[in-house]
């Protein structure tokens, strides 16, 4: 399937991902065989997923979490490039977290659409709450909160950052937001954060949350899920950033903590 505006590049990237990460796709197949089909209520829908544009804290590798850090100049240019790619794909609605970096990304994309569309904010799409770690680098956290940092690295799914939330809590609200976004025959964009986007992919594809780190998510890259009646969604595009390469705005991959 060739998506409008992809010029085939996205599918090439997905193909490369499939070849280099066969274990993930094998697991997807195994999980589909083991699990009863999720009764998606929709006719065929396409759900696009993007991570917000770059921020200064992304550049500095500082943990963002719930801290409201705005896009920097580069991040706005990345959002403009993505908006140009999506301009030929009529979206029905954009869902975004209520933090300014995702909200501004969504608004830039909405402004380039052929018709006015709603931009709906939901706190469920926020990044993980990293509590007292926010504003610090990983190295600083390892020094200031050594015991909590060590426990979190050993038990990342169920262990919370100091004063924050664990990944399973994030996964529950991200899954809830995704399920609400899937609408009958609609083309939807979700503008969110790295950790949240990976949680959505695990939820939609019925993967173990522990597999989240296998999904690369660059700033303003584009992923897509095809939702079919009575079947689990199908991953048709993953972390495609060809629209950024064209204007020399290649995104930072970052870490799971920098939002």
pLDDT tens digits, 94-112: 999 999 999 999 999 999 9
pTM reported for the whole predicted model = 0.83
* Phi, psi torsion values for 254, nearest 5 degrees: 70, -165
Angle at 93 between CA 92 and CA 94, to 5 degrees: 140
**pLDDT by 10s per residue, the chain, length 259:** 333 333 333 333 333 333 333 444 444 444 443 333 344 455 789 999 999 999 999 999 999 999 999 999 999 999 999 999 999 999 999 999 999 999 999 999 999 999 999 999 999 999 999 999 999 999 999 999 999 999 999 987 899 999 999 999 999 999 999 999 998 789 999 999 999 999 999 999 999 999 998 999 999 999 999 988 778 899 999 999 999 986 666 555 555 566 7
Work out whether the CA dihedral 102, 194, 11, 179 comes out positive or negative: negative
pLDDT of residue 258: 65
pLDDT of residue 20: 34
pLDDT of residue 42: 54
Instruction: Give, for 120, the enclosing helix (H) or strand (E).
Output: strand 119-121
pLDDT of residue 4: 36
Residues annotated catalytic, as ranges: 52, 127
- Domain 10-245, CATH: 3.40.50.1240
Long-range contact set of residues 109-113: C-beta below 8 Å, sequence gap at least 24: 109/50, 109/79, 109/82, 109/83, 109/189, 109/191, 111/83, 112/80, 112/83, 112/84, 112/86, 112/87, 113/86, 113/87
pLDDT in tens, 45-91: 999 999 999 999 999 999 999 999 999 999 999 999 999 999 999 99
Write down the domain spans for the chain: 10-245
Work out whether the CA dihedral 197, 199, 202, 205 comes out positive or negative: negative
CA–CA separation, 222 vs 107, rounded Å? 16
pLDDT of residue 12: 37
Task: List Cβ neighbours of 27 (8 Å cut-off, separation of 6 or more).
Answer: 207, 208, 211
pLDDT of residue 231: 82
């Amino acid at each position: 399937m060739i998506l409008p505006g992809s010029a085939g590049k996205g599918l090439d990237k997905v193909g490369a991902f499939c070849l280099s990460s066969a274990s993930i796709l094998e697991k997807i197949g195994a999980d589909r065989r083991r699990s009863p089909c999720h009764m998606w209520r929709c006719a065929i829908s396409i759900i696009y997923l993007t991570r917000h544009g770059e921020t200064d804290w992304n550049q500095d590798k500082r943990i963002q979490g719930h801290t409201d850090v705005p896009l920097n100049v580069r991040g706005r240019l990345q959002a403009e490039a993505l908006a140009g790619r999506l301009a030929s794909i009529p979206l029905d609605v954009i869902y975004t977290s209520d933090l300014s970096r995702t909200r501004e990304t969504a608004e830039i994309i909405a402004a380039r659409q052929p018709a006015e569309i709603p931009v709906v904010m939901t706190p469920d799409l926020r990044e993980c709450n990293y509590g007292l770690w926010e504003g610090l680098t990983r190295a600083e956290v390892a020094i200031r909160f050594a015991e909590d940092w060590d426990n979190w690295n050993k038990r990342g799914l169920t262990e919370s950052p100091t004063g924050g939330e664990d990944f399973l809590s994030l996964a529950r609200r991200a899954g809830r937001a995704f399920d609400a976004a899937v609408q009958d025959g609609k083309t939807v964009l979700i503008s969110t954060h790295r950790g949240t986007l990976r949680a959505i992919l695990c939820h939609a594809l019925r993967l173990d949350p522990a597999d989240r780190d296998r999904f690369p998510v660059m700033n303003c890259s584009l992923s897509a899920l095809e939702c079919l009646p009575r079947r689990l969604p199908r991953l048709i595009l993953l972390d495609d950033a060809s629209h950024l390469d064209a204007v020399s705005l290649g995104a930072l991959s970052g870490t799971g903590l920098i939002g």
